[in-house]
Every structure is written in structure tokens, then in C-alpha cells.
Structure 1
Amino acid sequence: MKNAIITGATKGMGRAITIALVKQGINVGICARNAKELAAFEAELLEMAPGIRVAATVADVSDRHQLKKFAEFTEKKLGFIGIIVNNVGMYKHVPILEDDENSMEKQLGTNLFPAYELYRFFGKRLVSAGEGHIFNVCSVAALNPVMEAGVYSVTKYALLGLNNVMRLEMQPHGIKVTAIIPGSTLTDSWKGMDVNKNDMVLPEDVASAIITIYNMSKGANVDQIIIKPAGGQL
């Protein structure tokens, strides 16, 4: 069986992606800061697919030490991790000049550094095995900055840049790297706003794209995929 590690797995896109992987018969390593939510999701996954294994641990992935412990725990429990989904992220709707002074540090710690650290942790293992797939969940804000979410746009632009470097480094070794670039997606980022889900990308759409890409032939890699609402961005 294949093994995957997913950050930000209990909510939104991460939750949908984790469920989709489990339905493919893939073991998963997941974490969350909330122990109760994590335990409930683990139980849900095991009930959904009794044959799979789940490595669940409480961790804040913006903390390098906790992130490393999560990676080590997942690898120890599941074995070789061939699928990495860097999904965790935070969105803040505020222009840079009106933002808090620690906003850049906080959003880099959530939107960029976990992907960087997991790449550093698992990268050489993937190279040694000569197989694997890394998915980095970016944002259309990385392509077209959102003025009202300045720091978020910068950090997602950085994540897309990291994705492109990963892909170039991994290409000679047969490891695939894909940037998932969703537009307006119905997640907690829209909490409290009056939106129509039929006008938005759903987390399940993103999960479906990842599964389709993962199941492509060995010789095919999707460098990046943009998924936007059919009627345009909200």
C-alpha cells in the first residue's frame, strides 16, 4: 500500500483530499492542533476504509519542531512516504499597509515553511526510492495578487516558486511535483460571508484533481493545474 502525509488535513481542502486518498486505499498521516477533531476524523477514516492505516498526531505545523515530530511519527508508523500534500494555509483579508507587524512572519510560517521543511525531510528519501509525488496547494493569488490580501499573495507566490524549484530538483530522479492552484474555494476562509456554493470551487473538486493527476501514467507529470469558478473569481 502507498502512504501519504497531508498537512491541514481535518478541514476544507485537506479533509477532502485525505478522504479521496483513503478511498484509493492509501494510508495517511494527518495532524491537527485540536486533539478532539483529529481523533474524530481518524475514526471516520477508519470506518470509511477499515483496511487502511492512519497515523494521527497532534501538531502545529507552523512550529518546525512539531512538524518534524509529525513527519517522524508518520514515517515510523506507515513506512516510506511517497505522497506529500502540502495543503496547510491561512488567509488574511487585509492590505499590507494595514496589516499587523507580525503578519508576514506568521503567514510564511503557515503558507510556506511547512512545505519547505517537509521537502527537506523527505526529499532525499524520495530520491533514494526513485519515486513519489509532491502536491503543493497554492492559490490563484500567486498568479494574480489580491490587493486586499497582500501578505497572503506574497506567501502563496513564494510557495509556487518553491514548487517550481522542487520540480526541477526532482525531475532527474523520477519524482513528480505538482502545483495545485485553486481559485475561490468554499473553505473556512469564507466563513461569515454570504456566498453561493454553486458559484465556487468545492474542496472535493480539488481532491478529484489530485487523484486524477496521481493516477496518471509514470511518464506524465502535471506541472500545475488552475481550478477556478466557472463564472470567474468571486
Structure 2
Amino acid sequence: MQLLEGRHALVTGGSRGIGLATAKSLLALGARVTILGRDAAVLKAAVETLAPLGKQDSIASVAGDISSQEAIHDAINAARKTQGSIDILINNAGQAVSQRFDRTTAEDWERMLAVNLTGTFHCIQACLPGMIQGGWGRIVNVASTAGLVGYGYVSAYCAAKHGVIGLTRALAIELGGKGVTVNAVCPGYTDTDIVRDAVANISAKTGADQDKALGQLTARNPQGRLVQPEEVAAAIAWLCLPASSAMNGHALPVDGGETAG
């Protein structure tokens, strides 16, 4: 069912993991999709993977660093020239640094805020005027369960993701009468590069083998497993549907029940 036919979606961090899975889901719903990332070669490979899933010329890519306002504005202007006005924005790009708080440097702190929070701000500011002008828009911010609860050794990441959820709730109220919804999806530990890096880091610091390190993360999920990128993408795609217009200002956990209590 082509429920998003005629809509243009921009997915940041769209070349792998949750972003790539989301691009697939949106293409299946008939949207035109532009994926944004920093590595042009990786983006090109992702476009080749995605191209058979949509209509002709329905997938494109733009390179840019979301921590740079100028780079993001240039990338989004390029996306508009290729695929038209942006109706759907998926703020998925992010990074995580694991470090004890007293060893977290100012540079680590600034980088976590720049990529995970300020980058979201830049992308929304660049895309929002067109959505308001068109009277319709969907913004979905990929936060984390780290934006809902506290985790040790990732204080800067937690702070940034809590900020993303605060921004989501504030904008949902501000834009409620303009036809634009703003929601967040909060994945638990998901089978992505960030989690694989976390497993390697735990293993290196504790001496535990990687299976045991992975077990420390999956134990948080009552289902005893990692969430799959496709499961997060399904939630994101649902929030983008025309029928989801009453969903606004939510922080939706996709975590197997981790935050249910």
C-alpha cells in the first residue's frame, strides 16, 4: 500500500543500521527517500542496495556532517533540488561514547551534544519551514531508552538523548496546529554498529569474552535479545503515516519491555 506516495523523506544516518532499515520501510510505503551521511562511498553502496526497492529515481543520497549547520543546510538544499520539498524528517544519525563521568572530557561531552542533539536541531530548523508551508509534516527523532532512564558510563550520551526527547515534546506543542507532528522513538539495545562497539568496549575493559559482554546488554531486555533495526524502522514508519496524525509528542520505547516498569 503506497500510503506515503508523493511524500519525500530525509533519513539522517541512512546508510546503515536503523537508518537503512527505515529507508527501506519508507520506500515500501511509496515515499521518495534521501539518505544523509558523512561517507559518500558508504552512501553510494546503500543507494545501490535500496534502488530496487522503490520506483525509478525514488532514492537519492546527500553527504553532510549533521554537527555543522552550514553543511546540513547545503545538504538539505541539495536533497530538495533532487527529490522535492521534504515532508518527512527522520533524525537518526548519532554516536555514543562510553566513559566514566569523571574521565569524560569536555571534548567528549561537546561531541555527544553536537551529534545527538544539536544535529537534530539543525535538521529540524532546515526542514521545518517547508513542512509548515505545505501544511503537513512528520518529524521522528530516534532517541534511545537512554533518553528515558539513566545508564552508567554514558552520561554525555544520556544527557543528549534526554535533550532530544525534551525538544520533541516542546515542538509537538508548538507545532500542534500546523499539520506537523513530532515524535521520538526510543530503541533499547539494538543490533547496530553502536551496540557492537559497546560490546567490544565492555570486553576490552573487563576482560569478559564478547558473548558474555553481549549478555550484559541483552539481560536488560525482558525478551533476552537485541532489538532488530527492522523493528525500530516499523515503529518509525507507522508514525509517518497519514493515519498517525493524532500521535504527537510521544517518546515511544522499542525495547522489549525494558522500560515498562
TM-score (norm 2): 0.83
Measure the CA separation in 1 of the matches of 2:21 and 2:137: 21
Measure the CA separation in 1 of the matches of 2:36 and 2:86: 15
User: Is the contact between residue 7 and residue 86 of structure 1 (CA under 8 Å) also seen in structure 2?
Assistant: yes
User: Is the contact between residue 184 and residue 229 of structure 1 (CA under 8 Å) also seen in structure 2?
Assistant: no
Measure the CA separation in 2 of the matches of 1:231 and 1:86: 23
TM-score (norm 1): 0.92
State the partner residue of 2:123: 118
Measure the CA separation in 2 of the matches of 1:126 and 1:232: 32
SS in 1 for 2:36: strand
Q: Is the radius of gyration larger for structure 1 or structure 2?
A: 2
1:209 to 232, 235, 240: 235
State the partner residue of 1:199: 225
User: Is the contact between residue 142 and residue 186 of structure 2 (CA under 8 Å) also seen in structure 1?
Assistant: yes
Structure 2: gaps (5+ residues): 1-5, 201-209, 219-223
User: Is the contact between residue 27 and residue 53 of structure 1 (CA under 8 Å) also seen in structure 2?
Assistant: yes
1:131-150 equivalence runs, <5 A = 131-150=136-155
1:209-228 equivalence runs, <5 A = 209-215=235-241, 217=243, 219-222=245-248, 223-228=250-255
User: Is the contact between residue 99 and residue 154 of structure 2 (CA under 8 Å) also seen in structure 1?
Assistant: yes
Is the aligned partner of 1:70 residue 2:75? Answer: yes
Amino acid at match of 2:16: K
- Deviation at residue 54 of structure 1 after TM alignment: 2.2
1:1-234 equivalence runs, <5 A = 1-191=6-196, 192=200, 193-194=210-211, 195=214, 199-215=225-241, 217=243, 219-222=245-248, 223-230=250-257
Measure the CA separation in 1 of the matches of 2:258 and 2:120: 31
- Deviation at residue 213 of structure 1 after TM alignment: 2.5
Percent identity over the alignment?
25
Compared with structure 1, are the counterparts of its residues 219 and 40 closer, same or farther at alpha carbon in structure 2 (3 Å cutoff)?
closer
User: Is the contact between residue 20 and residue 208 of structure 1 (CA under 8 Å) also seen in structure 2?
Assistant: yes
SS in 2 for 1:118: helix
Structure 1: gaps (5+ residues): none
Measure the CA separation in 2 of the matches of 1:43 and 1:59: 19
- Deviation at residue 82 of structure 1 after TM alignment: 0.6
